């Protein structure tokens, strides 16, 4: 008796499994085909290419969707989710692309194209009877409900997230006109959501608001007088808030982020001081151990300085006498040489205990002055006789 109960229980379980399998198969068969097919994974890249309009590029990151073109900014997740619903759009009818008149269906040339990873979807015109949209993908032309055209022709600014602060910023410090803000203010700023976003026209105006993250990333805004318009000059976008947040200042707050290294400009006074004296090795870190002794270093303005021979000389340096030029061979130059006794003599001077040989120090090719004085004058040239 007990074995019959066990057998009946097994039969009931088998019949239940068979009924569930048949019901599931019928449900799958009756489900309409979709544009992306069943089980398609969520794409990582989305691109909307439109004729005469900037291309919209979106990328899925760990923190959410981010726009890469025409701006590098967080994307609106609700707008992206509505666009991705096109993958589950039911297909009313499908025909091969070779058998369709693509020009009459608005698919040749293609003016609007949606790319999901490596899948291209060309958007065409409307069917005049069903008012469904013609799309072409994978060499097939489909008819899908016309629920996505407004998303594809929307301006790029509609895909920008309405949060003024970047999604992964995590501000730890903020200043308003160089005055630190309190921690409560930072917590309120993280949850801000704008009513709308507008493109910036003209130059940004307003007070400067700077937010700093723990890694040193800084984001700057220009806040209007009423506090409702927050403009990012780097993106040229303005976030319009419904109610301005209260910016409570805390001058005692300390910036925990690493400082930004900025090279300080060299003033004119510092440049003069730097060029006036030579630095000593002890005051210069990592000085050259093979450098000459500091006592040999002189000021560049002295005669004994170790300067570059090609460097220009200072105007205060004393100059020697100009060089003498012999214009005629009869002019005899007399060199004045200081001897050891300090007496001026001609020639190269006399060593102690030695006499100069005859003619030493004179030019052997110079004419004798005595011959020049005794030379007769030239006679008058002959005159013609009448």
Can you tell me the distance from the alpha carbon of 217 to that of 165, in angstroms, rounded to the nearest whole number? 12
Per-residue pLDDT of the chain (386 residues; tens, 9 = 90+): 677 778 778 888 888 888 887 776 765 555 678 888 766 788 999 999 999 899 999 999 999 999 999 999 999 999 999 999 999 999 888 999 998 899 999 998 999 999 999 899 999 999 888 889 999 998 999 999 999 999 999 999 999 999 999 998 888 999 999 999 998 899 889 889 999 999 999 999 999 999 999 888 899 999 999 999 999 999 999 999 999 999 999 888 888 876 654 334 444 444 334 343 444 444 444 555 445 555 444 444 444 444 555 656 555 555 666 666 655 555 555 555 444 444 444 444 555 556 666 666 666 776 766 665 555 555 555 555 44
Cα distance between residue 180 and residue 372, in whole Å: 99
164-216 pLDDT, tens digit each: 999 988 889 999 999 999 988 998 898 899 999 999 999 999 999 999 998 88
d(CA 280, CA 224) in angstroms, rounded, equals: 54
Name the pairing type of β-strands 229-232 and 237-240: antiparallel
Residue 274 is predicted with a pLDDT of: 38
- Non-local (6+) Cβ contacts of 161 within 8 A are 73, 74, 75, 76, 77, 167
Residue 40 CB contacts under 8 Å (≥ 6 apart), including other chains: 87
Alpha helix (H) residue ranges in 31-76: none
pTM of the model: 0.59
- List Cα–Cα distances, 370 to 181, 356, 360, 367, 373, in angstroms: 104, 21, 18, 9, 5
pLDDT score, position 224: 93
Nearest C-alpha neighbor of 72 from the set 201, 264, 199, 235: 235
**Rounded Cα–Cα distance for residues 152 and 338 (Å):** 101
Q: 19 φ, ψ to 5°? A: -65, -40
Burial class (CB within 10 angstroms; exposed 0-12, middle 13-18, buried 19+) of 372: exposed
Instruction: Identify the three-state secondary structure at position 378.
Output: coil
Q: Which residues lie closer than 8 Å to 111 by C-beta, 6 or more apart?
A: 50, 51, 123
Q: What is the pLDDT of residues 79-104, one digit of tens each?
A: 999 999 999 999 888 999 998 899 99
Cβ atoms within 10 Å, residue 178: 8
Nearest alpha carbon to residue 318 among 294, 339, 302, 305: 302
φ/ψ of residue 351, rounded to 5: -80, 155
Confidence at residue 191, expressed as pLDDT on a 0 to 100 scale: 86
Domains of the chain, residue spans: 45-159, 171-240
CA distance 67 to 197: 15
């Amino acid at each position: 008796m007990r074995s019959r109960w066990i057998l009946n229980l097994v039969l009931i379980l088998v019949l239940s499994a068979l009924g569930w399998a048949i019901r599931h198969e019928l449900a799958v068969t009756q489900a309409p085909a979709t544009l992306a097919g069943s089980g398609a994974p969520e794409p990582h890249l989305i691109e909307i290419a439109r004729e005469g309009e900037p291309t919209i590029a979106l990328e899925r990151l760990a923190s959410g969707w981010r726009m890469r073109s025409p701006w590098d900014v967080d994307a609106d997740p609700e707008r992206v989710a509505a666009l991705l619903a096109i993958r589950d759009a039911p297909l009313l009818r499908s025909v091969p692309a070779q058998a369709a008149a693509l020009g009459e269906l608005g698919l040749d040339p293609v003016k609007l194209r949606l790319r999901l990873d490596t899948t291209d979807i060309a958007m065409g015109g409307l069917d005049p009877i069903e008012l469904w949209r013609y799309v072409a993908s994978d060499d097939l032309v489909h008819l899908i409900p016309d629920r996505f055209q407004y998303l594809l022709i929307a301006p790029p600014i509609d895909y920008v997230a309405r949060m003024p602060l970047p999604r992964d910023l995590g501000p730890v410090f903020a200043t308003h006109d160089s005055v630190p803000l309190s921690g409560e203010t930072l917590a309120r700023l993280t949850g801000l959501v704008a009513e709308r976003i507008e493109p910036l026209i003209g130059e940004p105006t307003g007070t400067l608001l700077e937010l700093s993250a723990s890694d040193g990333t800084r984001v700057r805004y220009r806040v209007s007088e009423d506090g409702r318009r927050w403009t990012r000059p780097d993106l040229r976008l303005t976030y319009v808030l419904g109610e301005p947040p209260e910016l409570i200042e805390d001058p005692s707050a300390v910036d925990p982020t690493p400082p930004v290294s900025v090279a300080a400009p060299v003033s004119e006074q510092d440049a003069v001081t730097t060029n006036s004296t030579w630095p000593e090795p002890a005051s210069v870190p990592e000085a050259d151990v093979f450098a000459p002794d500091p006592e040999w270093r002189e000021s560049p303005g002295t005669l004994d300085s170790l300067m570059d021979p090609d460097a220009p000389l200072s105007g205060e340096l004393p100059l020697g006498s100009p060089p003498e030029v012999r214009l005629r061979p009869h002019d005899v130059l007399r060199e004045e040489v200081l001897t050891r006794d300090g007496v001026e003599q001609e020639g190269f001077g006399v060593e102690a205990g030695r006499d100069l040989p005859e003619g030493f120090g004179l030019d052997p090719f110079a004419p004798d002055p005595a011959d020049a004085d005794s030379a007769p004058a030239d006679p008058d040239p002959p005159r013609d006789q009448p």
